Structure 1
Amino acid sequence: MGLCFSSSSSPSPNPPNYSGSTSNVGFSATTSSFGKSQFSEIASGSIDSEGSLPFCSPDGQILERPNLKEFSFGDLKSAAKSFKGDTLLGEGGFGRVYKGWLDEKNLTPAKPGSGMVVAIKKLNPESTQGFQEWKSEVNFLGRLSHPNLVKLLGYCWDEDELLLVYEFMPKGSLENHLFRRNPNIEPLSWNTRLKIAIGAARGLAFLHSSEKVIYRDFKASNILLDGNYNAKISDFGLAKLGPSGGQSHVTTRVMGTYGYAAPEYIATGHLYVKSDVYGFGVVLLEILTGMRALDTRRPTGQQNLVEWTKPCLSSKKKLKTIMDGKIEGQYSPKAALQAAQLTLKCLEHDPKQRPSMKEVLEGLEAIETIHEKTKESKTRNSHHNSHQHPRQRVVRV
């Protein structure tokens, strides 16, 4: 199939919630030989050809079997008001995403405006992503449970209809907020950006525990935000189980999104756990600069964000020229420089030189501490100055 990348050079057609990777996989439901009876074995907890998920983490868990509801197409059609236009959240490579309503207790269809809001992803039969990604999503998200991974509630396979049902993420994607497709969206503050980066890092660190799951398509549109701007990683269609038996990498057909994919993966097809770290570095760079990883509308030499800004990340003076103007004055120069230096480490050309996601998370938490201390210091000084006695005026008589 060759190199199959989606480009982020212009505003993405991905939906504001649960966006899929665009045009990057050559499978469809109609071309798969994978039978429904085989899928039922996966859904009931059998290990499939991808292997098991044996690791665990203090902040998350691996379920022995997917804890998912099997929906009928009729129920989801009813929950999403027959998939009418006013429930459409957006459209991506996988298909369309609709808003739906389910009863919180038994997950049966509920009237619009009542019960629990969900997002229903409906496969387009002509989709280039198709069945294999749908299966991967069920297999991974059905078993992985973590506060920073989006929750998959269930699935539907009804003849030719393939659907996935997720928790609804009211704030949409990080991409929408950083690049503000909607002019009514307020710019993200430095504090919120740091919170989102830390949440996403926790999610990736969990996936990498024991070097078992490589996410493979880390980008701003796949980071979703709940009502409190807590970050959750979504879209596991390209996820792979990582190297085993002493291997350093897995070799696979190159898939992903241009601008975020690691150089060694593009060049060789060798996929490392630290290939995800590179993608995280690109997103961190977008968070700092407020600019897209790839944008052909920028001047020549500035279209690829990593190539253009990398020389600026180790200098406090140069860094100032690329930082997002919308957060000016909200961060300490020390915190910004540390964030830039951490980004630079993630973007190392040699995967062995990149930090682990655990180390990245620790670095981000240290930056958050710097910011909190700076804020406390300013508050104390302000409080102290406000309580100083004003000079007494001498009145001569």
Structure 2
Amino acid sequence: MEDLLRAAADLRSESFSSSLYKVKLVENGAHYAVKRLKNVQASSDDEFGETLKKISKLKHPNILPLVGYRSTNEERLVIYKYQSNGSLLNLLNDYIAGRKHFPWKLRLSIACGIARGMAFIYRKKLNNNYKGEHEEEDSIIPHGNLKPSNILLNENNEPLISEHGLTKFMDPNRSGFLLSSQGYTAPEKCLSEKADAYSFGVILLELLTGKSIEKSRIDLARWVRSMVREEWTGEVFDKEVRANEHQWAFPVLNVALTCVSRFQENRPTMGEILERIEEVMIEQEQQEQRISSKCCSNGSKVDCCPFHNIIPDTWDSPGSNY
């Protein structure tokens, strides 16, 4: 911590609630991301520290590890390893601007990774490596601010959920917080698994439509619902998805629409969301394996393999619940 506080800090972003710095240690050249929190709503340093300790124990490949924290009367710092590959928001904006390709498989892989990390956060029990101890449900800390800028990507473009639990210490009545989370916040505006499911559903809609709402501020959930209601469902997908992988996008759209239900009791749990997305991935992989072994040798696409059926009958239509 002493080395970190002595190191030069490069301010990367700033908001009403925090400042984010990139810090390089002189001793070993390691880079860290340091978030300085402002206007923290914590009853005591103990409450802040205990929450950060709980968060630090969540070890999962899709959750950005918490390296450390500092809590004093003057400041509160949260420290992560710096991720040079940027965020999902950067990738989405680069795709929209034509600077990067964003294929369907990568989109689906990122969605599945986020779901895996979130499902892990909401697990009800610790695994057997923890000597049979169990977590109480009220000790689970919701994320509270799930959005593409808080999904970092490692060198393999695997998603890492950041900012977990920090919303607990933000003032939800401050206009800056509401603006920064506009479009991702569930109608009930609370910290819960179902509220995080809503935010995840909006991210799924962004991956499917190729639209970024952190920049545009559009009500993406409302727009997609209206398109489905008017039976223009296939038009919600962006050109990359529509041209190549729309048969797999429909069941993912089903998941997203369920997540962004206005009523939290109608939304799935994160475990249920993960299960459905993994089903899509497995089905797609199985069909691709069948295609690679034998398919379309005569160049015909008529009844040669299941790949050429748009959607299996077992999937509900995206508009079936609306």
Specify the TM-score bucket, using the shorter chain as the normaliser. 0.7 to 0.9
Give 1:321's match in structure 2, choosing from 235, 249, 262. Answer: 235
Q: How does 1:218-257 map to 2 (within 5 A)?
A: 218-235=146-163, 236-239=165-168, 257=181
Deviation at 1:285? 0.5
Task: From the superposition, tell whether residues 146 and 284 of structure 1 become closer, same or farther in structure 2 (CA, over 3 Å).
Answer: same
8 Å CA contact retained: 2:234, 2:242: no
- What secondary structure, in the 3-state scheme, does the structure 1 residue paired with 2:213 have? coil
What secondary structure does 2:160 align onto? strand
How far is the alpha carbon of 1:100 from its aligned partner? 1.9
User: Is the counterpart of residue 174 in structure 1 residue 102 in structure 2?
Assistant: no
- The CA distance in 1 between the partners of 2:225 and 2:55, in whole Å, is 34
Q: Give the equivalent residue in structure 2 for 1:337.
A: 250
Among candidates 4, 27, 30, match of residue 110 of structure 1:
27
Counterpart-to-counterpart distance in 2, 1:239 and 1:203: 19
Distance of 1:166 and 1:138 partners within structure 2: 12
* 8 Å contact kept, 1:89–1:99: no
- Asked if the contact 2:64/2:160 (under 8 Å) is kept, the reply is yes
CA distance in 1, matches of 2:113, 2:275: 12
Q: Residue 198 and residue 181 in structure 1: after superposition, are their counterparts in 2 closer, same or farther (change >3 A)?
A: closer
Deviations 1:333-355 (A, max 9, x none): 33111011111111112211111
Identify the residue that residue 273 of structure 1 maps to in structure 2.
Answer: 193
Tell me, yes or no, if structure 1 residue 146 matches structure 2 residue 69: no
Distance 1:141 1:231 in 2: 18
* 8 Å Cα contact 2:144-2:192 kept in structure 1: no
Identical amino acids, percent of aligned pairs? 28
Alignment deviations for residues 185-231 of structure 1 (CA, whole Å, 9 cap, x no partner): 51322111111111111111112223432221111111111111111
Which residue matches 1:360?
A: 273
AA matched with 1:226: N
In structure 2, stretches of 5+ residues that fail to align are 125-136, 300-322
* Residue aligned with 1:144, SS: coil
CA 1:117–1:307 in 2, change beyond 3 Å: closer, same or farther? Answer: same
Corresponding residue for 1:285? 205
Shift in alpha-carbon separation, 1:131–1:226, aligned structure 2, 3 A: farther
Q: Residue 259 of structure 1 aligns with which residue?
A: 183
- 2:4 aligned partner: 76
Q: Deviations over 1:145-178 (max 9, x none)?
A: 2222111111235673543321222221111111
Which of 100, 113, 122 lines up with 1:208 in the alignment? 122
C-alpha separation between the residues in 2 aligned to 1:133 and 1:278? Answer: 31
Moved more, 317-326 or 303-312: 317-326
Instruction: State the Cα RMSD in Å.
Output: 3.3
**Structure exhibiting the larger radius of gyration computed from Cα positions:** 1
Task: After TM superposition, give the deviation of residue 283 of structure 1 in Å.
Answer: 0.8
CA distance in 1, matches of 2:14, 2:274: 32
Q: Distance in 1 between matches of 2:147 and 2:201?
A: 10
Structure 1 position 313, deviation (Å): 4.6
| TM-score, normalised via structure 2 length | 0.73
Deviation at 1:111?
Answer: 4.6
Cα separation, 2, equivalents of 1:182 and 1:159: 43
Q: Which shifted more, 350-359 or 129-138?
A: 129-138
- Cα 1:382–1:129, aligned 2, differ >3 Å: closer, same or farther? farther
Equivalent-residue separation in structure 2 for 1:130 and 1:99 (angstroms): 26
Report if the CA contact (8 A) 1:314-1:341 is conserved: no
Corresponding residue of 2:110 = 196
Higher helix share: 2
Q: Distance in 2 between matches of 1:184 and 1:349?
A: 34
Q: Taking structure 1 as reference, are residues 158 and 140 closer, same or farther at Cα in structure 2, changes over 3 Å only?
A: same
- AA at the equivalent of 1:308: W
The higher relative CO (CA closer than 8 Å, separation ≥ 6) is in: 1
> What is the letter of the counterpart of residue 325 of structure 1?
K
Judged with a 3 Å threshold, the aligned counterparts in structure 2 of structure 1 residues 305 and 129 are, in CA distance, closer, same or farther, namely: farther
